[in-house]
Amino acid sequence: MSTDSPDTTDSTVPTPAAVARAIDHTLLKPEATRADVAALVAEAAELGTYSVCVSPSMLPLDVPEGLKVAVVCGFPSGKHTSAVKAAEAAESVRLGADEIDMVIDVGAAREGRYDDVQADVAAVRAAAPAPTVLKVIIESAALDDEQVVGVCRASAAAGADFVKTSTGFHPAGGATEHAVRLMKQTVGDALEVKASGGVRTLAQARAMMAAGATRLGVSGSRALLADAAGEAASGY
């Protein structure tokens, strides 16, 4: 990263503005209303986030130019059939989604059935081809390192654009620096990595980005970015 970039304070630490541009501003609570989602969109535009991430039933959305729309698929369990996931993804794209965040069958990963994981991802990829961005949620906290590597490789082989740590709904937990680093080491430059689940502070966001994440799933974006006020006061 260049030292003269307007979005960085030095060559290694992203500014709050750069962190904001990496955020998928997220609202996936089952009780969310259309008014809640409209407020999410307004807040995302104010904060300068990359996108909003919502449930498919909330589409279509009225968003300002430049704000992307991400939609979850097979969420949160991943136990839907591939045909159902593909249909959900296709409909979401038809209704205006720019990006699809799909959940794998985590049980298949735990059993080492990586060919099945690859076929599942490939079905969604076929239903939502480029330029739609496809992110694959692997639920990394529920997997061991070997399984994380296996599903990342399967996702790459199926044509995904990102691998993503977590739904944020699994009791095993959310993103960790270790998982993000392992995922990035596995996919290299072929795919990007999204850290999601439990990213609540500016320091955590920067740590995930340092580990290799280029996108962040955050529901409390305003609170996370408000950390910058204290940073500025301390002369960071």
Give the residue numbers marked as catalytic: 101, 164, 194
Placement of tokens 């080492």 in the chain: 112
Helix, strand, or coil (residue 218): strand
Please count the CA atoms within 13 angstroms of the CA of 19 that sit on its side-chain side. 28
Helix, strand, or coil (residue 72): strand
Contact 213, 190 (CB under 8 A): no
Please count the CA atoms within 13 angstroms of the CA of 217 that sit on its side-chain side. 32
d(CA 47, CA 43): 6
